[in-house]
Amino acid sequence: MSDWAVQARGLRKAYTLGRRQLEVLCGVDLEVRRGEFVALRGASGAGKSTLLHLVGALDRPDAGELTVAGQLLTGAGAARLTDFRNRQVGFIFQAYHLLPELDAVENVALPARMARMATGAARARAIELLNRVGLGDRLDHRPYELSGGEQQRVAIARSLMNQPPLLLADEPTGNLDSKTGDEILRVLLDLRAETQLTLIIATHDARVAGRAERTVLLADGHLAASLP
């Protein structure tokens, strides 16, 4: 097994806005070791979210080569990328993205149901994960019955449902007050220590970046620096 969780070479990504082409990533090279905690920092529009989306196979690069969790994603078909996302990557977003009609257990179990895990096994694992993030007393609560911090804990539990080796988080504390943000970061670090997963967080929060083993700085679509 490779020591690298992520190996990216010359990644480029542009979007068409009306009549102009906006180049977001301009030939980014990035390597992340298995089990490493890396923070992505940079101004809004620097390319942090775009880079996370490419690594997590939510989008495709226009050019370059990308290998994640030992799988070459460049040129992979849609079905293979869907399976890769479901089994190899956990996602945590600033806006939580919970389904309002489902309770906490049902939201957490969604990735397992997509992977065709048996209903009983999926529910049991969802309950186990919710207990691990401190929500054992909120199992039947829907998102509108939960605080922002509790919703983010549900999202964290959901991201771990299929035991992915790689966890990607896009501003996971951005919608939270500082106390709740610190609690969420502590949950993530505790879970990482337990499971030895690779964690990449895009963040503006200096406190979050300060806990990372390495900080990668993006500026104007380029990798500006990588700091230990």
Residues 6+ apart with CB under 8 A from 83: none
Summarised one tens digit per residue, pLDDT across range 112-143 is: 988 889 999 999 999 999 999 999 999 999 99
pLDDT at res. 1:
58
Question: Is the pLDDT at 175 greater than 90, yes or no?
Answer: no
Task: Note the pLDDT tens digit of each residue in 180-227.
Answer: 999 999 999 998 888 889 999 999 888 899 999 999 999 988 988 777
Cα 136–108–157 angle (5° rounding)?
65
DSSP state string for 88-102: HEEEEETT----TTS
CB 57 within 8 A of CB 68: yes
What pLDDT was estimated at residue 75?
87
Q: Where are the beta strands (DSSP E) in the chain?
A: 4-17, 20-33, 37-41, 63-68, 71-72, 89-93, 166-170, 198-202, 214-219, 222-227
What pLDDT, in 10s, does the model give residues 57-114?
A: 999 999 999 999 999 998 899 999 999 999 999 999 989 999 999 999 999 999 998 8
Q: What is the pTM of this model?
A: 0.94
Q: Which two tokens stand for residue 62?
A: 């226009």
- For residue 18, pLDDT over 90 is answered with no
What's the CATH architecture for 4-227? 3-Layer(aba) Sandwich (3.40)
Q: How many residues can be counted in the chain?
A: 228
- Residue 13: the pLDDT is 96
Higher pLDDT, 208 or 2: 208
Residues 20-61: tens digit of each pLDDT: 888 999 999 999 999 999 999 998 888 999 999 999 999 999
Q: What is the model's pLDDT at position 45?
A: 85
| Residue among 200, 216, 225 nearest 69 (CA) | 200
- 56 to each of 3, 53, 89, 109, 221, how far by Cα in Å? 18, 5, 6, 20, 18
